[in-house]
A and B are shown apart, each in its own frame.
Chain A
């Protein structure tokens, strides 16, 4: 019973500083978590690892997360440690994978009813609503991974000054297309439903359509720039 347990996190902080954390999620899935900060460089190494894993015959699905990677095996491994050491080696030796993604210019109707948390974000960040909008439009965001619900992109690039805690009482029916901030992350909601992130605006983009090929609008590596279609503060 010890060989799988030895692979779990054993320090008390969430993220290891220098070595990856590799753990089994049940018998069929394995999770690789990169050490260090949430940087594009680290995310690019995850993408490289993702490609290497996709080549393996014993792996059925690979799912990148935010500086981590989940592997789902076609045949669950008898000896997970053997896969783990292969992963560690690959992590140390693979070069970063740079993806030349597409650039999406996303028009946002900031504020108003559909961006109703803009005043809350402004107050939390100690700046005006206009400053929030300006800072939100400034960076070039990168889609690190898709997940949670169909088509939702985890974006890298939010200005840390805009980090705003998720709401303790989620909105019950936030519309798909709502432009949001949740903690240190920026996003565009992909499904209408309950959502704890702060809404600051709205876009008409359809993030996911099962009839479309590919069904998700964004792909890993794509870049996004927000611009204001209208502002209502």
Chain B
């Protein structure tokens, strides 16, 4: 068991998302930073969509009641296991009674506690993700509270190695990013040309600040109003994470993991799938800059992400093999 000793609000069990029920109005949920989950699962040799705990309010403290290997990914910051400082993005094994503290990250906004075998909660509609608004999935359909007890499905694996976080490996849209500004690539969406030329220019040139009204549902941005050439009344249409809608007041909203599955506001653009993790790790109060891209560039960016993940899988497999060889060698000398 993993017992939650201390938690802020809105920390929850999430996996790679709930798919196949969108046509019934069920949003995907799942982690905000899918790349962080995939990295953690790749290091632990878990299934790619195994569930983790998404931590977005800090400090978060758990106690392990049996030996269990884990990885904390997402951002970077101070992690303590018992008295010992440990590294994020690396496999660590907890012993019985060890207490892990995840403090506010110094880089990034969300941390992911991935454990060997994944967090074991019942699957609801094909996923272990918490659907917070619908009140189902995850841990009893709600965010975690002090005293909650979760089970990890695995035990221990070879530890002591890690990966470079994607922010150091993957090139974004812009190599030399301004401090506190993250550049995201976006593809113009359905109603792009219904906005005034001035609005379109402003959209790509402005520094958009992430307001405090930002959460797992969506990020509300501040930085000027975007106007349509004429008002339009749209019929309800499907919405996915990354879509940027513009309500009548003119300030855009980027839809995120818990976004409603349908909406009716004009759509100006969509942040590409390969850059969504960057947005998930951008903090309230920080700035984003949007850069126009097309399908070809968007797909190339996704290939870069996939190859980074493949490298992690290959490297950890190689590392494990070398450990086995070393152990076999030692055993040979003894006999």
Chain B positions within 8 Å of A151 at CB level: 24-25
Q: Which of A4, A65, A147, A152 contacts B294 (CB 8 A)?
A: A4
CB <8 Å contact, B187 and A14: no
CB <8 Å contact, A67 and B235: yes
CB <8 Å contact, A27 and B295: yes
Chain B positions within 8 Å of A70 at CB level: 237-238, 240
CB <8 Å contact, A27 and B133: no
Which of A12, A77, A147, A220 neighbours the largest number of chain B CB atoms within 10 Å of its CB?
A147
* Nearest opposing residue in chain A for B298, CB measure: A27
Which of A31, A64, A67, A80 neighbours the largest number of chain B CB atoms within 10 Å of its CB?
A31
* Nearest opposing residue in chain B for A76, CB measure: B299
Q: Which of A29, A190, A193 contacts B25 (CB 8 A)?
A: A190
Does B192 make an interface contact (CB < 8 A)? yes
Chain B positions within 8 Å of A72 at CB level: 22, 240
* Nearest opposing residue in chain B for A68, CB measure: B237
Does B252 make an interface contact (CB < 8 A)? no
Using known A-B contacts A4-B188, A28-B273, determine if residue A147 contacts B238 with beta carbons closer than 8 Å.
yes
Chain A positions within 8 Å of B187 at CB level: 4, 24, 26-27
Q: Which of A4, A14, A61 contacts B23 (CB 8 A)?
A: A61
CB <8 Å contact, B190 and A148: no
Nearest CB on A from B18, distance (A): 10
Q: Which of A8, A76, A80, A190 contacts B190 (CB 8 A)?
A: A8
Interface residues on B, range: 35 or more
Q: Mark A11-25, 1 if CB is under 8 A from B, else 0.
A: 011110000010111
Q: Mark A27-38, 1 if CB is under 8 A from B, else 0.
A: 111010100001
Does B327 make an interface contact (CB < 8 A)? no
Q: Which of B25, B230, B233, B273 contacts A27 (CB 8 A)?
A: B273
Q: Give the complex CA separation of A210 and B123 in angstroms.
A: 11
Q: Mark A68-110, 1 if CB is under 8 A from B, else 0.
A: 1110100011101000000000000000000000000000000
Q: Mark B1-39, 1 if CB is under 8 A from A, else 0.
A: 000000000000000000111111110000000000000
Q: Mark B281-307, 1 if CB is under 8 A from A, else 0.
A: 000000000001111101100100000
Does B170 make an interface contact (CB < 8 A)? no
Nearest CB on B from A46, distance (A): 11
Q: Give the complex CA separation of A77 and B194 in angstroms.
A: 25
CB <8 Å contact, A25 and B24: no
Q: Give the complex CA separation of A9 and B229 in angstroms.
A: 13
Chain B positions within 8 Å of A25 at CB level: 189-190, 238, 240, 242-243, 267, 270
Q: Mark B248-287, 1 if CB is under 8 A from A, else 0.
A: 0000000000001111000100111110000000000000
Can you list 18 pairs linking A and B with CB atoms under 8 Å apart? A3-B295, A26-B271, A27-B187, A27-B295, A29-B270, A33-B237, A63-B262, A65-B262, A68-B238, A69-B238, A72-B240, A78-B295, A147-B22, A147-B23, A147-B236, A147-B260, A183-B233, A214-B24
Residue ranges of B at the interface with A (Cβ–Cβ < 8 Å): 19-26, 124-125, 131, 133-134, 136-137, 187-194, 229-230, 232-238, 240, 242-243, 260-263, 267, 270-274, 292-296, 298-299, 302
Extra A-B contacts (19), CB below 8 Å, given A25-B238, A145-B23, A183-B233? A1-B294, A9-B190, A9-B192, A9-B193, A24-B270, A26-B272, A29-B238, A29-B240, A38-B235, A76-B273, A76-B295, A76-B299, A78-B295, A78-B296, A147-B23, A150-B24, A191-B134, A215-B21, A216-B25
Residue ranges of A at the interface with B (Cβ–Cβ < 8 Å): 1, 3-5, 8-10, 12-15, 21, 23-29, 31, 33, 38, 60-70, 72, 76-78, 80, 145-152, 154, 183, 190-191, 193, 208, 210, 214-216, 220
Task: In the A-B complex, list the 9 residue pairs whose CB atoms are closest, starting with the nearest.
Answer: A70-B238, A147-B262, A14-B232, A26-B270, A66-B235, A27-B298, A23-B190, A65-B237, A210-B136
